[in-house]
Amino acid sequence: MEELAGEPCPFCHEKKLALMEDRREIPFFGPVYIYSMSCEGCGFHKADVEAEGKGDPVKYTFEVQSEEDMKVRVVKSSEAVVKIPRVVTISPGPASNGYVTNIEGILRRVMHHIESSANDEEEPDAQKQAKKLMKKLNRVIWGQEKLTITIEDPSGNSAIVSERAKVGKP
């Protein structure tokens, strides 16, 4: 892993930005590079994942069926769209990050987003809907309910690493 500290931050301009690059081997996917920038001064953070080879646009679909599926490895680039039907669609944008995680990590990120949004919401119906979604995601994590996750990536730098994942073109 290579790290460079004390660089000027593009937002606060203080020399508190740390740059990191790491090469990792993801079984059944191949080598990836993980890049990140983090500023101790203002809290700015940006991360991305790139496959070592150039990829074609790709779409992965995976049906979460059991608690064991929480361990399935996920590589998501900053350009990828994550879709969980009737729950959420996470679209890429300037603040989008890439990461290496697992199915549970994706679901926990979604739960955190829903919880944060619900705390800012004043409408009782919206808060009730958020609580229903949180319960649903907990049931999926505990293996009590099924759910489909789709990742579409125009850069080809994403994957759901499982023999059960369906792979195609977006």
Kindly report, residue by residue over 84-109, the tens digit of the pLDDT: 998 988 888 777 889 999 999 999 99
Residues 6+ apart with CB under 8 A from 19: 3, 4, 5, 7, 35, 36, 37
Evaluate if pTM is beyond 0.85.
no
The tokens for 168 are: 């195609």
The total of other beta-carbon atoms located within 10 Å of residue 60's CB is 23
CA distances from 119 to 16, 54, 87 (A): 31, 41, 17
Which domain range does residue 161 map to? 2-168
Do residues 1 and 13 touch, judged by C-beta distance below 8 A?
no
CATH code, domain carrying 10: 2.60.120.1040
Q: Which of 155, 164, 161, 159 is nearest to 54 (CA)?
A: 155
- Total domains, the chain: 1
Give mean pLDDT in consecutive 10-residue pieces for the chain, a chain of 170 residues: 93 96 88 94 93 86 97 94 91 82 95 87 86 94 96 93 95
Say what the pLDDT of residue 96 is.
83
